[in-house]
Structure formats: C-alpha cells, structure tokens
Chains A and B, each alone.
Chain A
Amino acid sequence: MDHQSTSASQAPLAAEFVNVSKSFGAFTIIDDLNLQIRPSERVSLIGPSGSGKTTILRLLMTLERPNEGEIKVFGDVLSAGGEGAAKARPDREFRAIRGKIGMVFQQFNLFPHMTALENVMEAPVQVLGTQRQEARDLAECLLKRVGLAEKGASYPSQLSGGQQQRVAIARALAMKPQIMLFDEITSALDPEVIGEVLEVVHNLAHETKMAMLVVTHEMGFARDIADRVIFMERGKIVEDASPGEIFNSPRNDRTKAFLNAIKR
C-alpha cells in the first residue's frame, strides 16, 4: 500500500484498476480489485492457477471487459463495467488509449501466414501508417535485438518455440507500447529454451522504460525482473510488496504456503 500513497501526487498512473470485478458465468475471477501501476514500474503477478493473474492482463489489453469498475490508462478510462460505458467512447479515442499497451502471449500467437519480418512489420505499417521501408528497418533492428537477425524470412512454423516467442516480443515492441504485458510467456516452451526468452525480457527491462506487468510461474524470473510483486488468490490481491519482502519474509500465511508449495 505504501507504493500507492507515495505515487498519488506524481505523474498519472500508467494503469489503474478501480473496483474491478469480472466473472464468467457464476464464477468470479476478479473480485473488486484495486491496482495501480506507475510508469516504468515492473510488477510481477504470482499466485495459484485460477487466481485471476492472467485475467488482469486480459482486462487491461481489452481482451475481456470488466463487469464492474473502471480501468484507466494514463488517466484515461479504457474500459468500464456496466451498460455501454465502454462503447460510449469513439473508436479512435479508444484505440489511441489501447495503443499504449502491448502484450506477449503464452502461445505466441504469431501470424502463421507471414514471415517473422512481416509479423513484426504488419502493425506498424497497417495500424500506424509507417512507411514500408522504415517499418522494415525497424523490424530488422528489433529482430536483431531479440537475437534473430537471420530469421526474418522464416515462417513461424520453421522456428522453435523460443524463437517464435522472441519474434512475438519483437512484434509487440514494434508498436512502442508504454505498458507491456507478459502472460506466462515461458509456459509453452521446452525447458532448454526458456533461458533465451527470459534473457531477452531482462535486457528489455534494462534498456527501456516501459512499465511491465509479468504473469509467470518462474519464481526466479518474477523476483529478478520486478520492483514489486503481487500475490493473488481467488481474484483478490493478498500481498503486494517488494520482491525481497515477498520472497524472503512474506507476511501473509497464504503467500507463505504458496511459496513453500512451489519450492517443494
């Protein structure tokens, strides 16, 4: 809670959840949640499966709409629960806000009918209206940055899982988001390629000022990447503290139980 009170007077929050609830049928997955992410902040979300971590990312990316509450991005309402609240905003304004967010998925979700380079170029050209040559230069630069300079002409089906995920990271970066969401980006990978993907994310954390929201089951990664770790259970935030506190001296019994279970 300390984080939130100190940030109140500073620049607008990168993202803010205000009393957000989300349920699928009778099952409440996010329960009256309040969450604030400051610009450039790196936050890890940990917790048992079904605790709502991924749903937080999907809500922020507008892949899901909240049933109640409000989600703000840099002070603007991105989506809100209740009738027509989100629809009231003109599409152009809505997309201007959504464009500040990028996401990398567990299953990569690369476009299989396009080469790695085309995957990265597609949105800058088609959405931002970037000149093709400029977009190509940017894409080549980003592929180089994720260590895939030679793979531009390959189709996703010709790449390993680790390579595909790195292309997906380059593709998300090409839109220059201010908040980047990583949704269990190593969960679908073979153990031997997890390291190469995590290294790319670590480098990004050093080289950029994007806010990052990371959902992961890799506890070492969750600790090393973050300024702040949030432990969730049953759609609620149970503990919200620095990585040191959460991993070395968790206050909450359920956090302790979860971390102990993982160690075993």
Chain B
Amino acid sequence: MNLLLEISPVLLRGAYTTVLLTLVSGTCALLVGFAVGLARLARTRWLSIPLAIYIEVFRNTSSLVQIFYFFFVLPLIGIRLEAFTTGCLVLALNFGAYISEVVRSAILSIDRGQHDATIALNMPTSLSYRRIIIPQAIPVMLPAFGNYALELLKATSLVSLITITELTFSGAQLVQYYGHPTLIYMSIFVIYLLLALPLVALNKALERHSGGQWKPKVPTT
C-alpha cells in the first residue's frame, strides 16, 4: 500500500501524458481524416493519387516503424522535432489515414437522392456538403470513431520507445527501480481501463444524441 502511494505521482504524471497524447493526436487525426477523406471525394487526380499513396503507406506499415522512422531518420535530413511532437505527428498521420477512409465511406453511403435534392434546390457543392451530406454522414462515422479513439489511447504506449514518459513507460521505469512488476503493471492496467471508460461513455452519448431525433425508430404512420 505504501508502495502504491509512493509510485502514484509518477503513474499519474504518466497517465496525464497519455491523455494529452491521445487528445492532441486524436484531434489532429480527425482534422487530417476529414481533410483527406473529403479531398479524395473531389476526384481530382493530382490530389487523389498522392493521398491514396499516403493512406496505403500509413495503413500498411508498422506504426512502430513509422515512429522510429520519424524520430531517427528525419533528423538525418535536417528536420528536428521534439519527441512529443514526433509522437503526435505520427499517431495523427497514422490514425488520420484510417479515419479518412471512415469519412469517405460514410459520405459515400449517403443516398444519391440527397445529392440530387441539393442540386434541385440550387445549392453549391460546399453548402450541400456542409448542411446536408456531412451532418447525415456523421452518425454513420461515430461507431468507427469510438473504436479508433480506444485504439489510439492504447497506441500511445508505442511512443514510450522514443523517450516519451507516458503511462506505460513510467510504469516500466518504476518496475526497474522498485521491482514488484505484478502490482505496478496491474495499476497501469486499471488506469488504462479507467481512461477508456469516459471515451466509451462519450461515444455512446454522441451516438444517442446525433441522429437520435430523426432516425426512423417509430414506424411511419
């Protein structure tokens, strides 16, 4: 018990870093995902080919290798970033690639008739997307976003390998210093679980709220 009290400040600081990594890279991943997903829908070739390459590279290679690459190889060509920035950058690009596909497929899932209606009402494309198409596509995206948020929370442990003292890394350091791996790793285990719960709850609430009103749950009269 004494040991727990002694290590808790370190674990909490690690947990704080994990949360910060998740929030920053998660927000950036959403921005990247929406930008890339929408840009690919525009079907301009000079844009969509490089973006397709980006997505496939980041989806089909190991995230760990991506992190190492950015951390160790970029400095060789003169780009020096802090470890935290590098970690967020790679996680944002990696998850952004997945999210862009979620965004793209959710938007493609919206009925062609909705696009037709916006044209018949003389809406410009940007307005049509902003007011009609994207608001309907977001409820389609939410379950996948929830999954990726949880994945991201856990994936932040990868950046421990580029010297960022997040939750997993601080635990590993504590084990080296104090021993007691069972207790310490069990605490980490529980902390990850506690961090995940609000994400799950948030996602549930969002799913309920958005679209809840208009989804046809009552049979039409």
Contacts and interface: CB of A to CB of B under 8 A. Distances in A.
Interface of A: 61-63, 91, 95, 98-99, 101-103, 105, 107, 109-114, 122-123, 126-127, 155-161, 171-172, 175
A109 B216 contact: no
B220 A158 contact: yes
Given A157-B218, A160-B221, A109 B122 contact: no
29 contacts: A61-B119, A61-B120, A63-B116, A98-B119, A102-B121, A103-B116, A103-B120, A105-B113, A105-B116, A105-B117, A105-B120, A111-B132, A111-B136, A122-B132, A126-B123, A126-B127, A126-B131, A127-B122, A127-B127, A155-B214, A157-B215, A157-B216, A157-B217, A158-B220, A158-B221, A160-B220, A161-B220, A171-B121, A172-B121
5 shortest A-B CB distances, which residue pairs? A157-B216, A123-B121, A109-B113, A109-B117, A103-B120
B114 interface: yes
Contacts of A127: 121-124, 127
A109 B124 contact: no
B220 to A, nearest CB: 6
Interface of B: 111, 113-114, 116-117, 119-124, 127, 131-132, 135-136, 211, 213-218, 220-221
B117 A111 contact: yes
A182 B75 CA distance: 64
The interface residues of chain B, by DSSP majority, are classed as: loop
Given A109-B114, A111-B114, A157-B218, A102 B135 contact: no
Contact of A112 (B116, B122, B124, B136): B136
Contacts of A156: 214
B132 A175 contact: no
Given A95-B124, A158-B221, A113 B136 contact: yes
Nearest to A161: B220
Given A111-B136, A114-B214, 19 more contacts: A61-B120, A63-B116, A103-B120, A105-B120, A109-B116, A111-B117, A111-B132, A112-B136, A112-B215, A113-B214, A127-B122, A155-B213, A156-B214, A157-B215, A157-B216, A157-B218, A159-B221, A160-B221, A161-B220
Contacts of A111: 114, 117, 132, 136
A122 B190 CA distance: 49
Contact of B120 (A102, A159, A160): A102
B123 A113 contact: no
Nearest to A61: B120
Nearest to A158: B218
A160 B127 CA distance: 28
Nearest to A123: B121
B69 to A, nearest CB: 42
Contact of A157 (B114, B123, B131, B214): B214
A112 B214 contact: yes
A62 B121 CA distance: 11
Of B121, B127, B211, B215, which is in contact with the most chain A CB atoms at under 10 Å from its CB?
A: B121
Nearest to B123: A127
A61 B118 CA distance: 11
Contacts of A99: 122
